[in-house]
Chain A
């Protein structure tokens, strides 16, 4: 396939072909005529636009997108667990050897046990940890009948079992989905989302989350939150207490802490970067497009995104380890356009523009 870079009309940044929005400033790029894969772009996988003169592909375009995405997420999840386990085992061996001559087998043995425990816990208990860390509590059908109904509607539309429903008591509107597979999934919304969105908008948001469930995005992003996010959080916490707390002032025996702090200071940004890279903007676009395919109502989600992004309140329960789970980044640190380079999400403006163009 010819792969000429696509210059952004807004800032001139040379984007890879096939991108929907500019990677630098988030502006919507012109629809490209010579797309390599006809249905690679999520925005074109809406059934109403699929009707082309060409013979239809083996399966409906959207269907293939899901299968590709599911397979990719399974691969990524295994890779992530493998990488963390490998790192632990290496670290264990090195420490074992450092403590005693020829001590590496003991260190390795320990590390393997720890790696297995961490791997199993993050896979089977990951969603419980994420939900607890986000202060989410389960809600009953009696308490929130409309929310339950909407979740069930979207589950039927996606042909999946209805996920568990959780609520965060926070006035900032936002939502996320987590779990290891569609049968063990949970959709969480904030009180603010229920209060500020109407039924159609809520349906768009839940449709977006249901697409994450179907594409198995939930599994990978849950593992990222547990395995990578927790390290970043730990580093943040440690460095902060080192800088401002008693640890730094205590002169005696401070050397190991200084060394550890130096090590963490190097490792932490690396892991933070990993966290950013792990989450692709493409999957947010795909979830938006899939949501529209479920609800057949692009304006509902567009208005919802506008309301969520336009809300000035920060979400207290969100942190650096869980920010990538949410439908719109809950840490409102970056400006709309500045976020494009370092953000876990595409600029909301670009998402809204694409959704509006579908209507």
Chain B
């Protein structure tokens, strides 16, 4: 009798271990997937910027400085190594784009241009997607880390070397208000 009870307990324990191991793997993959989603959107932004600059160039020839800054920021962001440098470069790119959009507002011809408004919508949406992807990444990390650190799932996490993931922090440069130089 006692033997059966013991056996039952062992079976329940093993089943529980399998279920929590699988859910940990699922959560870890979700975190990875969320991170990749950010990269997809960042890459899309790099691709869109040259198009926008090309279209805008003809209209705002005397705003070369702003355009230069956007291109420069884009190239720097593409080459940035490591999360910290990348976050900083991305922040600068966002700032440069915002000043460009602010300038577009003051050119009626440009605002009326279908291509420009379409590209502007695409870039706005891509910026939003980057932000939402980061938001989802952080939510996923929180869910994963909670599961890893809380009892009793921490027992499984500990024995199979699941380690906590890092949150995405907004770079200081991105928090600062955008400076728009209208002269």
B86 CB-CB contact with A under 8 Å? no
**CB < 8 Å neighbour of A153 from B125, B140, B142, B147:** B125
CB-based contact A149/B121 at 8 Å: yes
What is the 8 Å Cβ interface bit string for chain A, positions 148-177, against chain B (1 contact, 0 not)? 011011101111000000000000000000
B146 CB-CB contact with A under 8 Å? yes
A53 contacts which chain B residues (CB < 8 A)?
Answer: none
CB-based contact A153/B146 at 8 Å: no
CB-based contact B132/A294 at 8 Å: yes
Within 8 A of A (CB), among B130-168: 132-133, 135-136, 139-140, 142-143, 146-147, 150
Q: Give chain B nearest CB distance to A174 CB in angstroms.
A: 23
B34 CB-CB contact with A under 8 Å? yes
User: Chain A residue with minimal CB distance to B136?
Assistant: A159
Q: Give chain B nearest CB distance to A188 CB in angstroms.
A: 20
A145 CB-CB contact with B under 8 Å? yes
Q: With contacts A59-B143, A63-B143, A159-B30 known, is A152 near B125, CB below 8 A?
A: yes
Interface of B is mostly: helix
What is the 8 Å Cβ interface bit string for chain A, positions 233-271, against chain B (1 contact, 0 not)? 000000000000000000000000000000000000000
Chain B: number of interface residues, binned into ranges: 20 to 34
Question: In the complex, what distance in Å separates the CA atom of A142 from the CA atom of B41?
Answer: 19
A60 CB-CB contact with B under 8 Å? yes
**CB < 8 Å neighbour of B132 from A56, A63, A157:** A157
Q: Give chain B nearest CB distance to A236 CB in angstroms.
A: 43
B135 contacts which chain A residues (CB < 8 A)?
Answer: 157, 296
A158 contacts which chain B residues (CB < 8 A)?
Answer: 136
What is the 8 Å Cβ interface bit string for chain B, positions 108-122, against chain A (1 contact, 0 not)? 000000000010011
Question: In the complex, what distance in Å separates the CA atom of A58 from the CA atom of B20?
Answer: 14
CB-based contact A153/B143 at 8 Å: no
Q: With contacts A59-B146, A63-B143 known, is A156 near B125, CB below 8 A?
A: no
B128 CB-CB contact with A under 8 Å? yes
**CB < 8 Å neighbour of A58 from B122, B132, B140, B150:** B150
User: Chain B residue with minimal CB distance to A62?
Assistant: B139
CB-based contact B132/A156 at 8 Å: yes
B34 contacts which chain A residues (CB < 8 A)?
Answer: 159
CB-based contact B128/A153 at 8 Å: yes
CB-based contact B129/A152 at 8 Å: yes
A146 CB-CB contact with B under 8 Å? yes
Q: Give chain B nearest CB distance to A163 CB in angstroms.
A: 15
What is the 8 Å Cβ interface bit string for chain A, positions 96-111, against chain B (1 contact, 0 not)? 0000000000000000
Task: Tell me which of A60, A149, A159 has the highest count of chain B C-beta atoms within 10 A of its own C-beta.
Answer: A159
CB-based contact A156/B129 at 8 Å: yes
A294 contacts which chain B residues (CB < 8 A)?
Answer: 132
Q: Give chain B nearest CB distance to A51 CB in angstroms.
A: 13
**CB < 8 Å neighbour of A145 from B118, B140, B142:** B118
CB-based contact A153/B122 at 8 Å: no
What is the 8 Å Cβ interface bit string for chain B, positions 29-46, against chain A (1 contact, 0 not)? 010001001000100000
CB-based contact B125/A58 at 8 Å: no
B129 contacts which chain A residues (CB < 8 A)?
Answer: 152-153, 156
Q: With contacts A58-B150, A60-B142, A60-B146 known, is A156 near B136, CB below 8 A?
A: yes
CB-based contact B122/A156 at 8 Å: no
CB-based contact A149/B142 at 8 Å: no
Q: With contacts A59-B143, A60-B142 known, is A145 near B121, CB below 8 A?
A: yes
Question: In the complex, what distance in Å separates the CA atom of A199 from the CA atom of B129?
Answer: 14
**CB < 8 Å neighbour of B122 from A59, A145, A150, A154:** A145
CB-based contact A149/B122 at 8 Å: yes
A159 contacts which chain B residues (CB < 8 A)?
Answer: 30, 34, 136, 139-140
B124 contacts which chain A residues (CB < 8 A)?
Answer: 199
User: Chain A residue with minimal CB distance to B142?
Assistant: A60
A59 contacts which chain B residues (CB < 8 A)?
Answer: 143, 146-147
Question: In the complex, what distance in Å separates the CA atom of A157 from the CA atom of B146?
Answer: 20
Question: In the complex, what distance in Å separates the CA atom of A199 from the CA atom of B146?
Answer: 35
Question: In the complex, what distance in Å separates the CA atom of A154 from the CA atom of B129?
Answer: 8
B37 contacts which chain A residues (CB < 8 A)?
Answer: 156
14 contacts between A and B (CB under 8 A): A58-B150, A63-B143, A145-B118, A149-B125, A152-B125, A152-B129, A156-B37, A156-B132, A156-B133, A156-B136, A157-B132, A159-B34, A199-B124, A296-B135
